[in-house]
Amino acid sequence: MEFNQQDNNNNSVISIENDAVQLSYARLKTPCFISKSFSIETNIHQLDEINKLSLFPLISQDDIDLLIIGTGTMPKFLSGKQLVEIQQMGVNTECMNSESACRSFNLLLSDVRNIGLLLL
């Protein structure tokens, strides 16, 4: 799926495929993490691998208030324990399918929000 770029944010998502995401300046294989000034391919492949230890190196690269998690074609959700653990880090989370996650990320990024996107 392709997206229209609304602004000149370098980390805006241009398009997403089954195994990759195209940013304004780079193509990343999924799973990957993207924020306003940082992007990297990760080794978090499943939702149950998300915890403080796996997220800290990613979210510490930028000031992030909200982490959107794209879970593939179907939305899946974090456990209550995972939600509490992440909230203790000062980060709220939202899980949704990957296409919706990319659209939401672009919208919030253009609104100059402290946002992160984790695509599984």
| pLDDT at residue 99 is higher than 90 | yes
Condensed to tens digits (0 to 9), the pLDDT of residues 53-64 reads 999 999 999 999
Distance between CA atoms of 90 and 88, rounded to whole angstroms?
5
- Residue 102: helix, strand or coil by DSSP? helix
Distance between CA atoms of 102 and 16, rounded to whole angstroms?
8
Domains in the chain with CATH codes: 13-119 (3.40.1230.10)
Condensed to tens digits (0 to 9), the pLDDT of residues 11-35 reads 899 999 989 999 988 999 999 999 9
* pTM flag (> 0.75): yes
